[in-house]
């Protein structure tokens, strides 16, 4: 250390939690501050991988814009700093007054992606609402404006206990509307490299995406369809496999029912029909089907691109059905590809959990009369739950690590709703779009200031296939790397909910090691009632989270770089003698939706003379939704979200890269900055979300970008079960606008 410019510099090890990939990191700490983050090269599986967001963690932690002490909004709109204890007391008093007058059902919670810092945070909001006696009606999460169709489809189809075949060794894979190289969805460990290796190992990768993405680089086949037509394409692939008898008849006979119903339902989806609806080549549908069915292993997976137009549940259901007819689930005697380490020690059998109906219409929601479901309240209705008078009108909202002012569909309506609340609390680290509207801003601890562990990643498999996790028995725990900056007054999100509940005289029951979802439980969760006399430590919460884990958390803590537990037997057992469950290929609700899709020739949103382009979503590598927009290092390169267009469309509209345009849907208007992208299907406009200013602030396309949510209508068309409005495949028109130079 003699030559070190700073003799106090030392290396510590942590986990990046900016996104759910959870990369192990090596952190240089000087004078108690993190000064540099790189990937931990000693990690047994990540091999030192990180992305720009992880390496910019020091700049986020010590950003001049970070909120370090609680802020209270004054009548003139300015903020003053107050001590944490006072903030909690004042918020509790205001909640008490609201409850007394209007009842507990007028208080809601909305957690988001800033909550990933610590695996207790994402779930504690639900447990707070349970303690209030209003679960699930007042628990709004991002799941119902994301891919809730995964859970719903899995309920209708049934879940294969041993899970899908592993990606890393598969011989084929069909990705529908997902770009894991950037998003890390599905593949958490260095996805670019993992994908390249898989292709090297013989995988025929098939990508269905209107854009040739980073994940398409090594693809065997790229199909670039008209947005929103994935259900027809998947039905077409199923039809080829079923009519050409390329499926695994034995697996189906042993494990599934409804194949005749499915055959009849997909029969009209001829390659020619699909080609004409989706604007693709009929031969590509046949090639995708044959390649998939003839390979010895591999899965079909869907993500946001397929889920954001309507019919996300149907797309997921058809993907599950494709996997089932081809027998693409892990069998007895094979290694479990989602092995438990910090999840409970339970026998894993090659057998299904039976389907169940995941909705209950007996107590419909106030807005749009939606059923209660296993995925919480329908977040697409949250603005109207706030704006619509009557019993149960939401009057107070606690946002933890979420940014509804830009993430909720229909930004203008969401903005009106948020500003009309009696009480808005934002647990955040920045004056985000939402924090700027909040009555109180509660500063959370950031990722390097809290402990972390990989149990959350293991458990993500219960929310459907292609959600994350590890294909080997890997576990990792990391202690906090640094303390919050001197002079700060911060609290972890979960601690805030605990303190608030305690002050309101409510006791939170935390459900640890929840190994399942809905009615499919490998092992029911272990309740841990949080004591009222003293706040548990985060470490105690971690113990509760990992209660009954296959490897004790204490043991996992010994390996600071993480460890692969090769010594664990992860062999899948045969179907149990008492199991008579079967997967369902012909669910009547899904079959009826498929018939409607055929009838209408696919999705209902199509380009027209007035709205000739289709807006589609994408993820930015440097940002995690809105996270990173204020990071000095990340935002220095670019702080807006470009409006990507094919060069042919630039010519068509007489535009050049850098031009500012107005983007208009039937519902709203935003500004965007054009950027040419030759690998994008002509006729589409591809743009990231969670950017832009608030509706009452001036547009700033070059600085803040544009908020694509403003183009969405919360009530025109939505999922009939969980209420997600159309968020993809949105017809828009564009025109150049003059913008004063800044």
Phi, psi (rounded to 5 degrees) for 592: -70, -40
On whether the CB atoms of residues 310 and 146 are closer than 8 A, the answer is no
Judged by beta carbon distances under 5 to 8 A according to partner kind, the member of ligand SF4, Mo ion, ligand MGD, none in contact with residue 50 is: ligand SF4
Sites for ligand SF4 among residues 444-473 (CB under 6 A) = none
Region binding ligand SF4 by CB under 6 A among candidate stretches 11-19, 64-72, 90-98, 670-678: 11-19
Q: Within 10 Å of residue 716's Cβ, how many Cβ atoms? A: 12
Phi, psi (rounded to 5 degrees) for 716: -70, -45
On whether the CB atoms of residues 164 and 330 are closer than 8 A, the answer is yes
DSSP state of 573: B
Distance from C-alpha of 680 to C-alpha of 211, rounded to nearest angstrom: 4
On whether the CB atoms of residues 341 and 549 are closer than 8 A, the answer is yes
Interface with ligand SF4 (CB under 6 A), residue from 16, 142, 288, 406: 16
Q: CB of residue 619 vs Mo ion: minimum separation in angstroms?
A: 9
Judged by beta carbon distances under 5 to 8 A according to partner kind, the member of ligand SF4, ligand MGD, Mo ion, none in contact with residue 174 is: none
DSSP state of 304: H
Judged by beta carbon distances under 5 to 8 A according to partner kind, the member of ligand SF4, Mo ion, ligand MGD, none in contact with residue 112 is: ligand MGD
Q: In the beta sheet, which residues pair with residue 31?
A: none
Strand 172-176's sheet: what is its strand order? 221-223, 204-208, 172-176, 298-302
Residues touching ligand SF4: how many (CB under 6 A)?
A: 11
Q: CB of residue 376 vs ligand SF4: minimum separation in angstroms?
A: 25
On whether the CB atoms of residues 727 and 712 are closer than 8 A, the answer is yes
Closer residue to Mo ion in complex, CB, 115/297? 115
Q: CB of residue 634 vs ligand SF4: minimum separation in angstroms?
A: 11
Closer residue to Mo ion in complex, CB, 61/307? 307
Q: CB of residue 448 vs ligand SF4: minimum separation in angstroms?
A: 11
Judged by beta carbon distances under 5 to 8 A according to partner kind, the member of ligand MGD, ligand SF4, Mo ion, none in contact with residue 403 is: ligand MGD
Binding mask 164-193 for ligand SF4 (x = CB under 6 A): --------------------x---------
Contacts of 613 (CB under 8 A, 6+ apart): 607, 645, 649, 683, 684, 685, 731, 732, 733, 734
Q: Within 10 Å of residue 391's Cβ, how many Cβ atoms? A: 9
Of all residues in the shown chain, the one whose CB is closest to Mo ion is 146
Closer residue to ligand SF4 in complex, CB, 180/309? 180
Closer residue to ligand SF4 in complex, CB, 54/404? 54
On whether the CB atoms of residues 340 and 469 are closer than 8 A, the answer is no
3-state secondary structure of 24: strand
Token reading at 384: 């109207």
Q: CB of residue 378 vs Mo ion: minimum separation in angstroms?
A: 16
Closer residue to ligand SF4 in complex, CB, 23/350? 23
Q: CB of residue 400 vs ligand MGD: minimum separation in angstroms?
A: 6
Phi, psi (rounded to 5 degrees) for 107: -115, 130
Closer residue to ligand MGD in complex, CB, 426/570? 426
Token reading at 494: 């979960």
Strands of 405-478 (E only): list them.
423-428, 440-443, 452-453, 474-475, 477-478
Q: CB of residue 347 vs ligand MGD: minimum separation in angstroms?
A: 32
3-state secondary structure of 473: coil
Distance from C-alpha of 542 to C-alpha of 281, rounded to nearest angstrom: 52
Token reading at 171: 């011989």
Q: Within 10 Å of residue 682's Cβ, how many Cβ atoms? A: 14
Closer residue to ligand MGD in complex, CB, 262/623? 623
How far are the Cα atoms of 60, 113, 390 from residue 412, in angstroms, in the given order? 29, 22, 22
Judged by beta carbon distances under 5 to 8 A according to partner kind, the member of Mo ion, ligand MGD, ligand SF4, none in contact with residue 454 is: none
Judged by beta carbon distances under 5 to 8 A according to partner kind, the member of ligand SF4, ligand MGD, Mo ion, none in contact with residue 465 is: none
Region binding ligand SF4 by CB under 6 A among candidate stretches 15-23, 118-126, 264-272, 591-599: 15-23
- What residue ranges bind ligand MGD (CB under 6 A)? 19, 112-115, 117, 142, 145-146, 176-180, 182-185, 208-211, 213, 227-228, 230, 303-306, 309, 400-404, 407, 427-430, 432, 434, 444, 446-447, 493, 616-621, 623-627, 686, 689-690, 708-709, 727-729
Closer residue to ligand MGD in complex, CB, 337/446? 446
Distance from C-alpha of 347 to C-alpha of 19, rounded to nearest angstrom: 31
> Is the bond preceding residue 673 a cis peptide, omega within 30 degrees?
no
Q: CB of residue 193 vs ligand MGD: minimum separation in angstroms?
A: 16
Closer residue to ligand MGD in complex, CB, 146/522? 146
Binding mask 309-328 for ligand SF4 (x = CB under 6 A): --------------------
Closer residue to Mo ion in complex, CB, 146/659? 146
Closer residue to ligand MGD in complex, CB, 161/238? 238
Judged by beta carbon distances under 5 to 8 A according to partner kind, the member of Mo ion, ligand SF4, ligand MGD, none in contact with residue 37 is: none
Q: CB of residue 688 vs ligand SF4: minimum separation in angstroms?
A: 15
Sites for ligand SF4 among residues 345-364 (CB under 6 A) = none
Judged by beta carbon distances under 5 to 8 A according to partner kind, the member of Mo ion, ligand SF4, ligand MGD, none in contact with residue 275 is: none
Distance from C-alpha of 703 to C-alpha of 380, rounded to nearest angstrom: 28
Q: CB of residue 146 vs Mo ion: minimum separation in angstroms?
A: 4
Q: CB of residue 466 vs Mo ion: minimum separation in angstroms?
A: 13
Closer residue to ligand SF4 in complex, CB, 53/726? 53
Based on its alpha-carbon atoms, the radius of gyration of the chain, rounded to whole angstroms, reads 25
Measured in whole angstroms, the distance separating CA 255 from the mean position of its chain's CA atoms is 30
Judged by beta carbon distances under 5 to 8 A according to partner kind, the member of Mo ion, ligand MGD, ligand SF4, none in contact with residue 729 is: ligand MGD
On whether the CB atoms of residues 325 and 261 are closer than 8 A, the answer is no
Closer residue to Mo ion in complex, CB, 403/450? 403
Check binding of 628 to ligand SF4 (CB under 6 A): no
How far are the Cα atoms of 50, 58, 565, 623 from residue 222, in angstroms, in the given order? 27, 38, 37, 26
Binding mask 18-57 for ligand SF4 (x = CB under 6 A): xx-xxx--------------------------xx-xx---
**C-alpha closest to that of 436 among 652, 663, 204, 696:** 696
Q: CB of residue 143 vs Mo ion: minimum separation in angstroms?
A: 8
Q: CB of residue 215 vs ligand MGD: minimum separation in angstroms?
A: 7
Distance from C-alpha of 290 to C-alpha of 285, rounded to nearest angstrom: 9
SS3 per residue for 500-554 = HHHHCCCCCEEEECCEEECCEEEECCEEEECCCCCCCCHHHHHHHHCCCECCCHH
Q: In the beta sheet, which residues pair with residue 510?
A: 528
Of all residues in the shown chain, the one whose CB is closest to ligand SF4 is 54
Closer residue to ligand SF4 in complex, CB, 23/109? 23
- What residue ranges bind Mo ion (CB under 5 A)? 146
On whether the CB atoms of residues 529 and 536 are closer than 8 A, the answer is no
Judged by beta carbon distances under 5 to 8 A according to partner kind, the member of Mo ion, ligand MGD, ligand SF4, none in contact with residue 145 is: ligand MGD
Closer residue to ligand MGD in complex, CB, 212/564? 212
Q: CB of residue 334 vs ligand SF4: minimum separation in angstroms?
A: 29
Q: What is the contact surface with ligand SF4 in residues (CB under 6 A)?
A: 16, 18-19, 21-23, 50-51, 53-54, 184
């Amino acid at each position: 250390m003699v030559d070190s410019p700073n003799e106090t510099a030392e290396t510590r090890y942590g986990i990046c939690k900016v996104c759910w990939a959870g990369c192990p990191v090596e952190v240089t700490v000087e004078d108690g501050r993190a000064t540099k983050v790189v990937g931990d090269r000693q990690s047994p599986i990540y091999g030192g991988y990180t992305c720009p967001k992880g390496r910019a963690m020091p700049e986020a932690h010590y950003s001049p814009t970070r909120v370090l002490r609680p802020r209270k909004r004054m009548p003139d709109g300015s903020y003053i700093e107050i001590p944490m204890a006072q903030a909690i007391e004042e918020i509790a008093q205001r909640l008490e007054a609201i409850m007394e007058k209007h009842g507990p059902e007028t208080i809601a919670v909305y957690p988001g992606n800033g909550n990933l810092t610590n695996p207790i945070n994402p779930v504690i909001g639900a447990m707070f609402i349970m303690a209030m006696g209003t679960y699930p009606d007042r628990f709004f999460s991002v799941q119902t404006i994301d891919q809730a169709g995964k859970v719903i489809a899995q309920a209708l189809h049934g879940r294969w206990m041993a899970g899908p075949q592993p990606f890393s060794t598969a011989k084929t894979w069909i990705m529908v509307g997902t770009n894991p190289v950037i998003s890390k969805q599905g593949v958490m460990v260095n996805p670019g490299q993992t994908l390249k290796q898989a292709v090297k190992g013989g995988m025929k990768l098939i990508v269905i995406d209107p854009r040739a993405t980073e994940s398409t680089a090594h693809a065997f086949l790229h199909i670039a369809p008209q947005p929103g037509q994935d259900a027809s394409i998947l039905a077409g692939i199923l039809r080829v496999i079923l009519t050409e008898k390329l499926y695994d008849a034995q697996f189906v006979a042993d494990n599934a029912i409804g194949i005749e119903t499915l055959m009849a339902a997909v029969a009209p989806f001829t390659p020619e029909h699909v080609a004409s609806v989706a604007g693709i080549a009929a031969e590509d549908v046949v090639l995708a089907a044959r390649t998939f069915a003839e390979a010895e292993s591999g899965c079909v997976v869907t993500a946001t691109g397929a889920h954001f137009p309507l019919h996300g549940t149907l797309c997921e259901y058809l993907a599950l059905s494709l996997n089932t007819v081809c027998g693409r689930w892990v069998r007895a005697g094979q290694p479990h590809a989602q092995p438990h380490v910090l999840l409970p020690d339970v026998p894993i059998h090659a057998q299904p959990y039976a389907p169940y109906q995941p909705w209950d219409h007996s107590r419909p929601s106030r807005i749009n009369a939606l059923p209660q479901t296993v995925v919480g309240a329908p977040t697409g209705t949250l603005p109207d739950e706030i704006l619509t008078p009557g019993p149960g009108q939401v009057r107070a909202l606690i946002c933890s690590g979420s940014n509804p002012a830009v993430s909720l569909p229909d930004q203008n309506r969401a903005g009106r709703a948020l500003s009309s609340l009696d009480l808005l609390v934002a647990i955040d680290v920045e004056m985000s779009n939402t924090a700027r509207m909040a009555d109180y801003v509660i500063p959370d601890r950031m990722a390097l200031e809290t402990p972390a562990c990989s149990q959350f990643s293991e458990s993500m498999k219960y929310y459907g296939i292609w959600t994350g996790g590890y294909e080997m028995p890997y576990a990792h725990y990391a202690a906090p790397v640094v303390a919050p900056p001197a002079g700060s007054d911060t609290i972890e999100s979960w601690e805030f909910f605990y303190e608030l509940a305690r002050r309101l005289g409510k006791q939170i029951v935390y459900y640890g090691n929840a190994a399942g979802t809905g009615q499919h439980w490998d092992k029911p969760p272990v309740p841990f009632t949080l004591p009222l006399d003293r706040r548990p430590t985060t470490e105690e919460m971690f113990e509760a989270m990992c209660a009954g884990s296959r490897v004790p958390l204490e043991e996992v803590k010994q390996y600071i770089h993480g460890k692969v537990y090769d010594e664990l037997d992860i062999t899948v057992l045969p179907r149990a003698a008492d199991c008579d469950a079967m997967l369902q290929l012909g669910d009547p609700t899904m079959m009826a939706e498929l018939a409607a899709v055929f009838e209408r020739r696919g999705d209902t949103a199509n380009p027209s003379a007035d709205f000739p382009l289709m807006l589609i979503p994408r993820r930015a590598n440097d940002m995690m939704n809105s996270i990173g927009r204020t990071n000095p290092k990340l935002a220095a390169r670019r702080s807006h979200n470009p409006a990507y267009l094919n060069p042919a469309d630039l010519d068509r509209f007489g535009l050049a890269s850098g031009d500012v345009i107005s983007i208009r849907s039937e519902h709203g208007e935003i500004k965007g900055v054009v950027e040419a992208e030759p690998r994008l299907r002509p006729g589409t406009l591809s743009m990231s979300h969670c950017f832009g200013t608030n509706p009452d602030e001036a547009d700033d396309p070059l600085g803040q970008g544009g908020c694509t949510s403003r183009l969405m209508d919360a009530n025109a068309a939505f999922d009939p079960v969980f209420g997600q409005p159309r968020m993809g495949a949105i017809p828009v028109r564009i025109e150049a606008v003059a913008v004063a130079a800044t």
